[in-house]
Amino acid sequence: MGTDDKVAYIAALAGAGLTRIEAVSFVHPRLVPQMADAEQVMARVPRRDGLSYIGLIVNERGLERALDSGVDEVNVTVVATETLSRRNQRMSVAGALGSFAAVSARAHAAGLRVTATVGAAFGCPFEGEVPPGQVAAIVRRCAEAGADEIALADTIGVGVPADVRHLTEAVRAVTDLPLRFHFHNTRNTGYANALAAVEAGASALDASSGGIGGCPFAPAATGNIATEDLAYALRRSRIRTGADLRRLTEAAAFIGERLGSPVPALLGRAGDFPPP
């Protein structure tokens, strides 16, 4: 997809009332060519007070690109298992933790907020179950290295609400940092998990407009829970998000047209309730 369409898409999401947008990913363009124009996108996205742009990075080279592009936050991934870490980031878990410490220090020195996202926190496509204590140990290291926020990612969408509660308890035993959750809807449990995360004290939830996305290094990983479907569920649960559902569904329709395929989200098909 072209840079023009990416910028228009991000502008539509900002216009729908979103205030934190992970707009770009500073990964190696050979590995993820879809994100090769991150700098060009960041140079053209709309700016306003209260709107924060996040760049996803995996190493110090990615941080250098992020700093040059003017992002407000960086999201740094540390995978919970050795196999996926080596496939996803070409480094061991220990190496990723060392890299996170270096990235965190440099990002803070530049005035950026830093999130540590623990990938495959609920399960790994190669190693299976991931013990909560294993995730908590990684979270502790990231908190000690200066993370401002911890995100727990169900990269392949295997978790259920009970897993959310158990993992939250394990992580809360090692840090009181704000918790963000990242759910893929691979097995149709993502929205139940998101509501369970809110009940467990989540400060933020990741979602993807239209439910698009996935993980190129995790077999069978589908898209994240859809922003508009999540916003609907939260509003019906009496939780205010500040998001405009109509404009969110319009943004999802836009991206579906550009990708040439209907998006997985359902709100755009079923409509809001009660009807406007």
Q: Which residues participate in catalysis according to the annotation?
A: 215
Cβ(52)–Cβ(60) below 8 Å: no
Contact 125, 220 (CB under 8 A): yes
Contact of 192 with 220, CB cutoff 8 Å: no
**For the residues of 241-263, what is the DSSP string, one character each?**
----HHHHHHHHHHHHHHHTS--
Cα 206 from chain centroid (whole Å): 5
Q: Which helix (H) or strand (E) holds 105?
A: helix 93-109
Looking from the CA of 51 toward its CB, the CA atoms found within 13 Å total 18
- Cα torsion 235, 241, 246, 251: sign: negative
| Contact present, 113 and 22 (Cβ < 8 Å) | no
Helix (H, G, I), strand (E, B) or coil at 143: helix
